Amino acid sequence: MKTLKSSPLPISLLPYLMVLLFLFSAYPAMAAPKQAQGADQIYGTTKYFTFTGSTDLVASSTQPSIIFFSRVRDNPKNNTFYSNGSGGSISSVTSLTNWINTNITGVSGYSFRGFTCSGCTPLTLPLNFYLNTAKLENTSMKDPNTGDSIFKIKDHPELGVSFQLGMQHQSNSTYLSALNFDNAGVAHIGGIQLYFGDSVSIVFLLRARLHLLGNPSNKIIPKIDLNLGYIKLSPINYKPRYITFVIKDDGQINVHLKTPQAQLFEKIRQCFLVSSETNKTVRLKQVKKREFDNINEIEGGEFKLSVSCNRQENQINDQWLFPRVMITFKGENDTVNDGSSNLLKTQQGSGQATGVSLRIKRQDGRETVKYGADSAQMGNLGQFALQKQPSEGDKNAQETFKVYYVKDLTKGNLTEGKVKAAATFTMSYQ
């Protein structure tokens, strides 16, 4: 704790205690406040407070290890587990739904002595957090539960970390809004006010989470002493009434997170097409040419695709962790498969209709299928998630699609004839 003293005045206001929580879970054990050397001066109606030297705030995990299984995108169940046993255990693990417990040690804030001003309004502290960009890289992703930025740990790119600041006044604690980091890795810590009193303090803590950023191979990442960055108080020249308060911090508070050991396990999740779904023939109703006189598309038929995810590979510790089932359609007959075209081209030749293509619409009746490459790669152009995803109640993923005849002047004038088209679909389990 950095402590400064100034000439005491006879009026003492209620101290204001501020705590920025740094847990890996619930509430940490707080370190006893420590004092750093400071100097204070008073000249006329000006009080000077100068903090010297840098200090360290260290949050150390009390859990020996965390177990991460390969990610399941957008799955409602948590895909991260922890074990309190040394080395971890797959046979007995608990879903990680809270912050990981830590103990807090080190100097954790600023302390003011003689910081008195009768009837003065509180001082809003100009505090910033400076990210350690040598060790952390902003992924532009947000924690879906808190909105906090997720940073990739450069030395272990499979893992990311997010952290959150908060404050505690007496027995009440409140967390601040998510920090917004600029391109330089600096974020303003807003909403923290210091109330005047003979002895007032702000104590910084923090809470953090680890995130799995990709599908890992089996690997053990040892405990990390991760320097997240530092907190620094910007210079203050504040005159609430008759006295000007000049505050300067020549140092900083370095924030460290000592993580538990992380065990990464690759877990392949699988689904399978039922035999009737592998090769489908969709028979469209017959329509007359004149039916297109005043409209551009006519519904011709529908089909349903369904896959079963009722497999042991999708279970961990007796819990179902289903993949997200994705699909990509690839059209034949000169269909443009660039992820933007929604026209399925038809066969040409003797007896075939001209001036017409097909369009496949999704179950909601509004969104159309756009065609892409025959690939299961995540993010493939044209790829989308099936409307119904697997769940414990129904372990199937499925969607019903409707097929429409569409006028297509790029195929010539509209003539009657047979309409045939073909498309392949590729399922991806992510």
Please check the confidence at residue 421 and state whether its pLDDT lies above 70.
Answer: yes
Alpha-carbon distance of 328 to 240, in angstroms, equals 64
Please check the confidence at residue 20 and state whether its pLDDT lies above 80.
Answer: no
Please check the confidence at residue 322 and state whether its pLDDT lies above 60.
Answer: yes
Please check the confidence at residue 12 and state whether its pLDDT lies above 70.
Answer: no
Over range 131-152, report the average pLDDT.
Answer: 92
- Most confidently modeled range among 17-21, 109-113, 374-378, 411-415: 411-415
pLDDT for position 2: 52
Residue scoring higher pLDDT (11 or 268): 268
pLDDT for position 102: 77
pLDDT for position 316: 67
pLDDT for position 382: 94
> Are residue 251 and residue 279 in the same domain, yes or no?
no
Over range 310-328, report the average pLDDT.
Answer: 80
> Are residue 239 and residue 383 in the same domain, yes or no?
no
Over range 258-272, report the average pLDDT.
Answer: 79
pLDDT for position 215: 64
> Are residue 386 and residue 407 in the same domain, yes or no?
yes
Range of the domain at 382: 272-429
> Are residue 15 and residue 161 in the same domain, yes or no?
yes
Lowest model confidence (mean pLDDT) among 167-171, 225-229, 302-306? 167-171
> Are residue 94 and residue 185 in the same domain, yes or no?
yes
> Are residue 228 and residue 306 in the same domain, yes or no?
no
Tell me which of 244, 265, 286 is where a domain ends: 265
Please check the confidence at residue 59 and state whether its pLDDT lies above 50.
Answer: yes
Residue 93 pLDDT level (bands cut at 50, 70, 90): very low
> Are residue 282 and residue 234 in the same domain, yes or no?
no
> Are residue 180 and residue 227 in the same domain, yes or no?
yes
> Are residue 214 and residue 119 in the same domain, yes or no?
yes
pLDDT digits (tens, 9 = 90+) for 153-205: 999 998 889 998 777 655 567 778 899 999 999 999 988 888 888 777 788 87
pLDDT for position 284: 93
pLDDT digits (tens, 9 = 90+) for 350-407: 999 999 999 999 988 889 999 999 888 878 999 999 999 999 899 999 999 999 999 9
Residues above pLDDT 70, as percent of the chain: 78
pLDDT for position 23: 32
> Are residue 174 and residue 319 in the same domain, yes or no?
no
> Are residue 118 and residue 148 in the same domain, yes or no?
yes
Tell me which of 265, 290, 306 is where a domain ends: 265
Type of residue found at 298: I
pLDDT for position 88: 42
Structure tokens at 25: 């879970």
Over range 315-340, report the average pLDDT.
Answer: 86
Count how many Cα atoms sit within 13 Å of the Cα of residue 340 in the half-sphere of its side chain: 1
Tell me which of 241, 265, 289 is where a domain ends: 265
pLDDT for position 43: 65
Q: What is the mean pLDDT of the chain?
A: 79
pLDDT for position 358: 95
172 to 18, 167, 225: CA distances (angstroms): 10, 8, 30
Lowest model confidence (mean pLDDT) among 104-108, 129-133, 269-273, 405-409? 104-108
Lowest model confidence (mean pLDDT) among 30-39, 212-221, 321-330? 30-39
The three-state DSSP-derived secondary structure of the chain is CEEECCCCCCCCCCCCEEEECCCCCCCCECCCCCCECEEEEEECCEEEEEECCCEEEEEEECCCEEEEECCCCCCCCCCEEEECCCCCCCCCCEECCCCCCEEEEECCEEEEEEECCCCCCCEECCEEEEECCCCEEEEEEECCCCCCEEEEECCCCCEEEEEECEEEECCEEEECCCCCCCCCCEEEECCCEECCEEEEEEEECCEEEEEECCCCCCEEECCCEEEEEEEEECCEEECCCCCEEEEEECCCEEEEEECCEEEEECCCCCCEECHHHCCCCCCCCCCCHHHHCCCCEEEEEEEEEEEECCCHHHEECCEECCCCEEEEEEECCCCCCCCCCCCECCCCCCCECECEEEEEECCCCCCECCCCCCCCCCCCCCCEECCECCCCCCCEEEEEEEEEEEECHHHCCCECCECCCCEEEEEEEC
pLDDT for position 344: 95
What's the structural domain count of the chain? 2
pLDDT for position 87: 44
**134 — alpha (psi -120 to 50), left (phi > 0) or beta?**
alpha
**CATH classification of the domain holding 394:** 2.60.40.1090
pLDDT for position 235: 94
> Are residue 333 and residue 395 in the same domain, yes or no?
yes
405 burial via Cβ count (<10 Å: 0-12, 13-18, 19+): buried
pLDDT for position 11: 26
Over range 311-328, report the average pLDDT.
Answer: 79
